[in-house]
Amino acid sequence: MKLTMASSPHNHSHKNVSKLMLSVIAACIPGIIAQCYFFGFGVIVQLFIALITASASEAVMLKLRNRPIWTSLSDGSAWLTAVLLAVSIPPLAPWWVVVIGTIFAIAMVKQLYGGLGFNVFNPAMAAYVLLLISFPVQMTSWNAPSELLAQPISVADTLSLVFFAENGAGQNLISTMTGVDGTTMATPLDTVKTAVSQNLTVTEAMSAVQFGEYAGIGWMWVNLAFLAGGLFLLKAKVINWHIPVAMLGALALCAAIGFIIAPGSHGGSIFHLLSGATMLGAFFIATDPVSASTTNQGRLIYGACIGVLVYVIRNYGGYPDAVAFAVLIMNMAVPLIDHYTQPRTYGHGAAK
């Protein structure tokens, strides 16, 4: 039996970057299925457009940088960015929205900083914020959940709306949604925020047809599906528990305090946890190994600050959902957090 002498560490990980990225993409599948069920085939269309654009953008940038194309592309990081951006965009958004966002995420945020491992910001969230600020109408035009529609939007109409901005009858997105459901296209978070600004209570806002018992119809199940995927990542040790637990715990605590102080204008913990991109952000976005904190104590601080910022921006900011903004703000704070939370080196600080 041959013994091999080697320096530490002696416990080697059998997971490479490609397997980790593909594991995260696989964990997104329950959430993607839930989105398709409640919001239609447009989710798959956006995914295909984003994946094709991400692959092309990555290949072009690698070629310009004289780097091996397939070696870098096959690590799956560009595909994961495409998936996270695609599921964050309204299913019936015009095709050019996801194309612009994906090119920006890959070319500007990732490759211009040096590629995987060097980007300061989360590429998908940086692209999402760019799109939200630049194209607010397209980025907030979510169609109502399928069970609220008088008739489902067909695959043909979905393709026509995404690629030609009108359905088979010549109606644009606004006309189509008004015709099939007659209700607002606002998300539950946006509905509550608007109602509170009009001096209505949260309870009155949640009496609208798009709300279920705890949160918005469709959105609640999408969040639970991403929660299931996130628990799979924790079980497989693809991510650490510190960031999602700290983020969700801080958000739930802030929501509980706000609800106790002013129940008429603040939603409860369950509402915030099961609305918007909460679970997607906690398990799939905030845990990005490149742009997140790298120490255990730092991860707790990083995640908790994201949770607090999500709550503050949702209630007092200008945007109904705040995950992308909170993550980007804390990305900037990561070097400072890591600097002050580095574990002490063995033997350092011993008595002289």
Predicted pLDDT at 131: 96
* Residue 166 dihedral angles phi and psi, to the nearest 5°: -155, 155
Which of 132 and 349 is assigned the larger pLDDT?
Answer: 132
Q: Provide the pLDDT confidence category of residue 199 given band limits of 50, 70 and 90.
A: confident
Q: Provide the pLDDT confidence category of residue 182 given band limits of 50, 70 and 90.
A: very low
Q: How far apart are CA 292 and CA 334, in angstroms?
A: 6
User: Residue 280 is encoded by which pair of tokens?
Assistant: 């997607």
Predicted pLDDT at 4: 56
Cis amide linkage into residue 9, ω under 30° from 0:
yes
Q: Provide the pLDDT confidence category of residue 190 given band limits of 50, 70 and 90.
A: confident
User: For residue 263, what are the domain limits?
Assistant: 186-341
Mean pLDDT of the chain: 86
Looking at 169-178, 190-199, 279-288, 321-330, which range is the least confident one?
A: 169-178
Predicted pLDDT at 36: 94
Predicted pLDDT at 209: 75
Q: Taking the alpha carbons of 282, 288, 291, 296 in that order, is the dihedral positive or negative?
A: positive
Do 165 and 172 touch, CB atoms closer than 8 A? yes
Residue at 12 is within a domain: no
Predicted pLDDT at 12: 47
If you average pLDDT over each of 116-120, 148-152, 328-332, which comes out highest? Answer: 328-332
Tell me the average pLDDT across 168-192: 60
Torsion of the alpha carbons at 156, 162, 168 and 172, rounded to the nearest 10: 150
Decide if pLDDT at 181 tops 50: no
Residue at 306 is within a domain: yes
Predicted pLDDT at 174: 55
Decide if pLDDT at 120 tops 60: yes
pTM equals 0.88
Please give the C-alpha separations between residue 148 and each of 48, 92, 208, in angstroms, as whole numbers. Answer: 26, 16, 11
Looking at 128-142, 149-163, 225-239, 290-304, which range is the least confident one?
A: 149-163
Predicted pLDDT at 275: 92
Decide if pLDDT at 68 tops 90: no
Tell me the average pLDDT across 93-102: 96
Q: How far apart are CA 144 and CA 187, in angstroms?
A: 8
Residue at 127 is within a domain: no
DSSP letters, 244-256, are HHHHHHHHHHHHH
Decide if pLDDT at 349 tops 90: no
Residue at 27 is within a domain: no
Per residue in 253-288, pLDDT tens? Answer: 999 999 999 988 888 999 999 999 999 999 999 999
Predicted pLDDT at 8: 46
> In total, how many domains does the chain have?
1
Predicted pLDDT at 2: 57
Residue at 263 is within a domain: yes
Q: Provide the pLDDT confidence category of residue 321 given band limits of 50, 70 and 90.
A: confident
Predicted pLDDT at 42: 93
User: Residue 255 is encoded by which pair of tokens?
Assistant: 């929501």
Predicted pLDDT at 3: 56
Residue at 171 is within a domain: no
Residue at 124 is within a domain: no
Q: How far apart are CA 218 and CA 204, in angstroms?
A: 19
Helix, strand, coil proportions of the chain in percent (round to 5)? 60, 0, 35
Q: Is 224 exposed, middle or buried (0-12, 13-18, 19+ CB in 10 A)?
A: middle
Residue at 45 is within a domain: no
Decide if pLDDT at 11 tops 60: no
Tell me the average pLDDT across 203-226: 85
Length of the chain: 352
